[in-house]
């Protein structure tokens, strides 16, 4: 599994941002990210334009504990 970070733009408002999704490959990530961004931005999928792939990160079994939890 990898985490894919994409740029996106909301067409109706011009808002730009970045969003990542964990998927096994880039093709699957590109197919699934539009629906997730639309959900976060509370708009329709047709209103979202997915831009460039910005970064690919390897997912590892990392555990982080916040300062307040220790």
Interval 19-58: pLDDT, tens:
999 999 999 999 999 999 999 999 999 999 999 999 999 8
Residue 6 has pLDDT above 80, yes or no: yes
**CA separation for the pair 2, 23 (Å, rounded):** 6
The CATH architecture assigned to 2-69 reads Roll (3.10)
Please choose, from the candidates 41, 44, 4, the residue with its C-alpha nearest in 3D space to the C-alpha of residue 26. 4
Residue matched to tokens 């990530």: 29
pTM more than 0.85: no
**Is the CB of residue 51 less than 8 Å from the CB of residue 8?**
yes
Q: How far is CA 24 from CA 2, 18, 29, 48, in A?
A: 6, 19, 8, 23
């Amino acid at each position: 599994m990898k985490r894919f970070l994409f740029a996106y733009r909301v067409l109706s408002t011009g808002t730009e941002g970045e969003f990542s999704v964990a998927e096994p490959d880039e093709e699957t990530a590109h197919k699934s990210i539009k629906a997730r961004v639309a959900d976060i931005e509370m708009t329709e999928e047709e209103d979202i334009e997915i831009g460039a792939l910005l970064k690919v990160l390897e997912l590892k079994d990392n555990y982080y504990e916040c300062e307040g939890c220790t």
